Chains A and B, each alone.
Chain A
Amino acid sequence: MNRTFELSEFLFLVAAVRWTLLLSLVAFLGGGAVGLLIAIMRTTHNRPLRLVTAGYIQLFQGTPVLMQLFLFYYGLAVLFNMQVDAWPAVALAFTLYSGAFLGEIWRGSIQAIPRTQWEASACLSLGYFQQLRFVILPQAMRISIPPTVGFLVQLIKGTSIASIIGFVELTRAGQLMVNVTFQPMLVYPVVAALYFVVCWPLSLLSRSLERRIDADLGIKRHL
């Protein structure tokens, strides 16, 4: 009666990688938009805006992703008075989650740009948004790329938690396979290997970009 873990089962897991990647992509793009907003609001001179965004970041970085998923899942159900699909809850929760992390990373990048750049562009009579658009953000973006890629790895791994509320991605597909094959010691290492194949190149990329930018900025590291 039992199925054994063979090629077709392996291909089922490989096919599930696309849901992990799709969820990560949605959360990354949505979170990127939220994060940019947060980063800009965190670096303004407006105190209430800074406080609100700091609170947002603290809230999402100081609570477990799993709790955020549960809250959005049941929160949306409460809001619309009916059971909702896992997709919108998961997509929304991971978007806001990555918005908090990307916002904090990009805030650091913006603040790493010397104040003289702001002053010089103000002297050229650029407005605030022109300063951001033409002077600050292009430079900040360069510094922010390695940690952003690093966060992408964290996000891809994090989406595995969506399996707990029943969203079918790679980890959930692995659980389903275990349920029919009863071979957890084969299935889970394969699942881990698939994550590794996706995440490791990104980790290496992040590290080499960091090294290159450090070299450009003249920062020496012992390696």
Chain B
Amino acid sequence: MHYAFHFNVVWDHWRELAEGALLTIRLSALAMMIGLVVATVCAYGKAAGPSAIRWAIAAYVELIRNTPFLVQIFIIYFSLPALGISVDANEAALAAMVVNFGAYGTEILRAGIESIGHGQIDAARALGLTRLQTFRYVVLFPALKTVFPALASQFILLMLASSVVSAISAVELTAITNSLQSTTFRPFEFYFVATGLYLGMALGFRAVLGGVYWMVFVRGQRS
């Protein structure tokens, strides 16, 4: 091996890398929040909607879960303009991440909803709550609590998967690393550091989500 590593080149560009990491964090966090709303609506539709809607949601979930994220990105990137919606690469990437997380989230929430005892729902209905109120006040919160760890894992998978949105030239950590390594000719060093940043973000998000769980479901319920 006659290769001299030059990590000082990477250090010279720490500002760009930090910016890329922030972009990845923002993109992922935004996608998760919107995706969670999509997932909640779809999970409700799948649990309480008419059969046509249930069928459509099931088809959405199965289609997304059995095709690669990268292909989904390409389809969304090319189909939004065809539908008359003009978007830049970053908005298309966000849309693809929302659609993807929405499908996995629906499936995870469905499991949570099914874990709620039927007696709870019957009791809420007997008290005169509508189906939507029952879902909103009785089912959703404990269901979210039950499946929160699975949602957190899925979110971290989403954050890691976001590295492939560079394929449609959306700007985030991977895209910035790609351009830095191509101008400095130090691919290994840059990818090594970027990989470390992703690992740090994955661990950081896990810690933050653990904190959210504690604040919302442990401390929040005690008072």
Give the B-binding residues of A (Cβ under 8 A): 58-59, 62-68, 70-71, 74-75, 77-79, 81, 153, 157-158, 160-161, 163-164, 171, 174, 184-185, 188-189, 191-192, 195-196, 199-200, 203, 221-223
Q: A67-B163, A70-B191 are in contact. Are A192 and B72 (CB under 8 A)?
A: yes
Contact B78 A160 (CB under 8 A): no
Give the A-binding residues of B (Cβ under 8 A): 1-3, 62-63, 65-72, 74-75, 78-79, 82, 114-115, 156, 160-164, 166-167, 174, 187-188, 191-192, 194-195, 198-199, 202-203
Q: A161-B164, A188-B71 are in contact. Are A74 and B198 (CB under 8 A)?
A: no
Contact A184 B1 (CB under 8 A): no
Q: A70-B191, A81-B1 are in contact. Are A196 and B161 (CB under 8 A)?
A: no
Contact A160 B188 (CB under 8 A): no
Contact B198 A62 (CB under 8 A): yes
Contact A64 B174 (CB under 8 A): yes
Report which of B66, B198, B199 forms a contact with A199, defined as CB distance below 8 A: B66
Q: For chains A and B in complex, what number of residue pairs have CB atoms within 8 angstroms? A: 112
Q: B201 to chain A: closest CB distance in Å? A: 9
Q: A62-B203, A68-B195 are in contact. Are A188 and B164 (CB under 8 A)?
A: no
Report which of B3, B162, B164 forms a contact with A78, defined as CB distance below 8 A: B3
Across-interface contacts of A221 in B (CB, < 8 A): 114
Across-interface contacts of B161 in A (CB, < 8 A): 64
Contact A195 B66 (CB under 8 A): yes
Across-interface contacts of A59 in B (CB, < 8 A): 199
Contact A184 B74 (CB under 8 A): yes
User: Which of chain B's residues has its CB closest to A197's CB?
Assistant: B66
Contact A74 B202 (CB under 8 A): no
Across-interface contacts of B75 in A (CB, < 8 A): 185, 188-189, 192
Q: B82 to chain A: closest CB distance in Å? A: 6
Q: A81-B2, A188-B78, A192-B75 are in contact. Are A171 and B66 (CB under 8 A)?
A: no
A-B residue pairs in contact (CB < 8 Å), sample of 17: A64-B160, A64-B163, A64-B198, A66-B166, A77-B188, A79-B3, A81-B1, A81-B3, A153-B65, A157-B68, A158-B68, A164-B166, A174-B71, A185-B79, A200-B62, A203-B66, A222-B114
Contact B66 A63 (CB under 8 A): no
Report the bound CA distance from A70 to B203 in whole Å: 21
Known: A67-B174, A164-B70, A199-B67; 11 extra A-B contacts, CB below 8 A, are A63-B199, A65-B160, A67-B191, A81-B3, A157-B68, A171-B71, A184-B78, A188-B74, A189-B75, A192-B67, A192-B71
Q: B213 to chain A: closest CB distance in Å? A: 19
Which of A64, A68, A192, A199 counts the most chain B CB atoms within 10 A?
A64
Q: A185-B78, A192-B75 are in contact. Are A63 and B198 (CB under 8 A)?
A: yes
Q: B209 to chain A: closest CB distance in Å? A: 14
Contact A171 B192 (CB under 8 A): no
Report the bound CA distance from A127 to B74 in whole Å: 54
Report the bound CA distance from A64 to B187 in whole Å: 16
